Amino acid sequence: MILKPFMREGIMPLPVSFISTVSADGVRNIAPYSCIMPVLRPLDLICFASAENRDTLKNIRDTGEFVINLPGADLEGKVIPTARMSAPEIDEFDVANLSEKPSHTIKAPGIKGCYAWMECRLEKEFKEERYSLVMGKVLRLEVADGVLDDTLHLDPMAAAPLMMTGSKQGMHFCTIRETKGFEPFSAMFPSGVDPVSTAG
């Protein structure tokens, strides 16, 4: 079956993240984003795409700060309340009935109930006519107790990361499961040595 190119997210399960910010006037904001990715291993950068007309983007431009909150599947019901268009003076923590988790390195708070939080500082913005790519430097990465195993590997069953696939009608939510497969990074290199893990 051939699909329209814009339907690419219909066959790519995407992570759902909540990005929390604070406006220059101190108003708290939350918005869900799925167009998000880390920038190469082992860099401390993360990138997401945003439409221009978003309070999140304006707040990041004004303050240079944001938190990427990673929710579990139990927070599926908070996507629409935080996605609805609200006036800039509306506190979306209150609208979505979510509690804040104080940050340690920035003013913008995280969201209680998520399984991980990345406190970020704006590193660079790549502005296009219809969208912007926002690159953030992760200043602090925190993971909730109970979602990592003894080797510090994410336990997908415990975290149940919220994900989505798109369709013409809307968003279909899902999560991930462990296949028990494993390959070391070093297997990609003829020498059998991972240059990233041995650098510096």
Q: What is the pLDDT of residues 106-136, one digit of tens each?
A: 999 999 999 999 999 999 999 999 999 999 9
The span from the CA of 200 to the CA of 180, in Å, is 31
Is residue 34 a contact partner of residue 51, using CB atoms and an 8 Å limit? no
Residue with tokens 């939080």: 117
Residue with tokens 């979510």: 98
Q: What is the pLDDT of residues 74-109, one digit of tens each?
A: 999 999 999 998 999 999 999 999 999 999 999 999
Tell me the β-bridge partners of 37. 47
pTM of the full predicted structure? Answer: 0.95
The span from the CA of 180 to the CA of 125, in Å, is 38
**Structural domains of the chain sorted by starting position, each given as residue range(s) with its CATH number in brackets:** 8-188 (2.30.110.10)
| Parallel/antiparallel/unpaired status of strands 36-38 and 45-51 | antiparallel
Q: What is the pLDDT of residues 165-192, one digit of tens each?
A: 998 899 999 999 989 899 999 999 999 9
Nearest CA-CA partner of 142 in 106, 166, 169: 106
Q: Three-state SS for 55?
A: helix
